[in-house]
Amino acid sequence: MRMKTETKKKTQPGYPAARIVAPTVARHLAGHAEAARARGDGRVAPQPDVDTIEAIVDGAFWASLQREEGRAPRISLAYIDPDGESMVFERALALNARELARLAPAVERPGIHLGVWPDGGRLRVWGTTRRVPTATLVLEVVEPGLLVLKYRRGDEFDKYGTIAVLEGDRIMEVDEGGASLPDCPALLSSLLGFDAPLPSSGSTSILAQLAVSMRQHARGGSLIVVPAGSDAWHESASHPIPYRVTPYGDLARLLAADEPERQDTAWRDALHRAVDTIAGLTAVDGATVLNERHEVLAFGVKLVRKRGAERVERVSVTAPVVGSQTKIVDPGVLGGTRHLSAAQFVHDQRDALAMVASQDGRFTVFAWSPCENLVHAHRVETLLM
């Protein structure tokens, strides 16, 4: 199917946030596309203009409010032209709410996108695809009124970078400058997409994948990352530890594979399973402990205040969202026991990192900040959607 690439000037969309956010999204995409070309990426996606972004966001928002057989649609739209590996409809479909809602049950599984491209001056849905090039605009309908605007960071396995989250009339733009702040954990930089390492090449990217998987199981959980070769974390754990294990290194073994093996689909599938296995352990009451060599040391660990340590009374809270202000709060306001015990653990074990998922989707990374001399709580759920 031959598609024209021109677009017709569009009237103002009915969803005001679409008009407001479109220039911001276009700017982010242009910057990431330029960076990808500078890295020498072989294929960089064509970039939509502001009017096109408005139209895609507008259509997706109204589709999110539809119901198909009583269920709200979950859809992923990718701005990309069809290729030989995609499923192309014989007749392209209009980009409207009803058409998208009808298609939703067929494409709600992760990794399947509806391809959107101009045809005859209008945006149309041309089919489905699993392969999208670097810097492709991807829009996910998460639930009614909740949209996430993303871009492909590079590797097929890698976490998509988040540009903005729209929740009704609320616009949350990712603050990419947050990665340059003092004491910013490497994990946060990875989630923001600046280093964009492959999961095979760096621990921070693997932690990002673990964070995504922890959030997806929706049971809540805590993952503690401690230095390898040190048992100091035992001082902040209640004994006996119910599920202490001989260091389990399945993930570490996979990450030690050479480059040719990493290109094998079987290796990537095994890596997915290893990540999900560890994330699954965090659903058990108590914390899962992982060392910096990616070996599981224990799970179901009850975290306690280290003997002789002061109770953590203040934490610094930030979110990587434009306009978000740093707050100093009592750790109890962040959540329940998981959050309080994680903050205390990092206060007592300052070379450790704690990742806490809430059942409601919130996700917090706790790290010690030498600059502030405080535990810093990074609220990163916006980056994990």
More confident residue, 29 or 199: 29
How many beta carbons lie within 10 A of that of residue 329, not counting itself? 12
236, with CB counted inside 10 A (0-12, 13-18, 19+), is buried
CATH 3.40.1700.10, the chain: domain bounds: 180-384
Q: Which residues pair with 79 in a beta bridge?
A: 116
Q: What is the pLDDT averaged over residues 161-184?
A: 80
What are the tens digits of pLDDT across the range 298-354? 999 999 999 999 999 999 998 888 888 889 999 888 888 999 999 999 999 999 999
What are the tens digits of pLDDT across the range 240-279? 999 999 999 999 999 999 888 888 889 989 999 999 999 9
Distance CA 253, CA 275 (A): 12
pTM of the predicted model as reported, rounded to 2 decimal places:
0.79
What are the tens digits of pLDDT across the range 359-384? 988 999 999 988 889 999 999 888 88
CA 200, 205, 209, 214 torsion: positive or negative? Answer: positive
Distance CA 80, CA 93 (A): 15
Homologous superfamily in CATH for domain 180-384? DNA integrity scanning protein, DisA, N-terminal domain (3.40.1700.10)
pLDDT of residue 200: 35
pLDDT of residue 180: 47
pLDDT of residue 186: 63
User: 336-349 burial, b for 16+ CB within 10 Å, e for fewer?
Assistant: eebbbbbbbbbbbb
Which of helix, strand or coil describes residue 93? strand
Q: What is the pLDDT averaged over residues 197-205?
A: 44
pLDDT of residue 191: 59
Distance CA 101, CA 24 (A): 27
| C-alpha to C-alpha distances, 301 to 78, 282, 345, nearest whole angstrom | 42, 10, 12
Contact 228, 292 (CB under 8 A): yes
What are the tens digits of pLDDT across the range 218-246? 899 999 999 999 999 999 999 999 999 99
What are the tens digits of pLDDT across the range 189-200? 555 554 433 333
pLDDT of residue 197: 33
